[in-house]
Amino acid sequence: MQQSFIWSSHATRVVRHLAAGCLLMLLACAPAASQTLPPIAKTADLSGPRFGLTLLSDGVVQELATREIDVTPHISQFGWQFERQFFAKGGPVTMVTEWVALIGGLEQSVALPSLSWMVGVRTHDGAEFGIGPNITPAGTALVLATGMTFRAGALNVPVNVAVVPSKVGTRVSVLTGFSVRSR
């Protein structure tokens, strides 16, 4: 009998402490709950095909040769860019994130994959800048890209230059393509 009395007084104290803790949490959260949340961002999917040319430095060509991949210092590029643009109401710039998957060197009977993930900004006029990681058979590196997107109605035509410096050498790509704004 005494044991159940001890258990019930212990249980009562636990319940009181939990109730007090919940009340304290609700009082502390009240100022946060009364704040105005930022507006929900609108997005646009600007994905589409990409094609262009990449110039490889001698160090990149030599690094590929050590992996038994023989190419000239200039290769074609074909692929797809998965792009998402985030709109802020009335802001001068919008944020952009994109994945660019390319296959290079097809004209030389070689398939060199390249994958880049970039984050960046685009101005209202279409000027853009992005930065992010890149991986290819020549190794990993950081890609820096800039360019301009030209608009013709719902059609977007980006023209970008990307520079990929790495410890084996530098790659410079010029890419274009198109996307259709669906929103």
User: Which comes out higher in pLDDT, residue 3 or 14?
Assistant: 14
What is the Cα–Cα distance from 143 to 137, expressed in whole angstroms?
Answer: 15
pLDDT at 6: 54
Asked if 115 and 83 sit in the same domain, the reply is yes
pLDDT at 172: 98
Asked if 59 and 75 sit in the same domain, the reply is yes
- Asked if residues 141 and 151 have their Cβ atoms less than 8 Å apart, the reply is no
Render pLDDT for 18-38 as a digit per residue (tens, 0 to 9): 777 777 776 666 565 566 766
Q: 126: domain CATH number?
A: 2.40.160
How does residue 106 score in pLDDT terms, banded at 50, 70 and 90? very high
* Vertex 68 angle, CA 66 and 70, to 5°: 100
Specify the pTM. 0.75
Asked if 17 and 79 sit in the same domain, the reply is no
Q: What is the DSSP string of 11-39?
A: HHHHHHHHHHHHHHHHHHHHHHHTSPPPP
β-pair type (74-87, 112-123): unpaired
User: Which comes out higher in pLDDT, residue 35 or 56?
Assistant: 56
- Asked if residues 179 and 47 have their Cβ atoms less than 8 Å apart, the reply is yes
How does residue 79 score in pLDDT terms, banded at 50, 70 and 90? very high
pLDDT at 70: 95
Q: Give the domain range for residue 131.
A: 42-180
Asked if 77 and 16 sit in the same domain, the reply is no
The arithmetic mean of pLDDT across residues 10-19, rounded, is 74
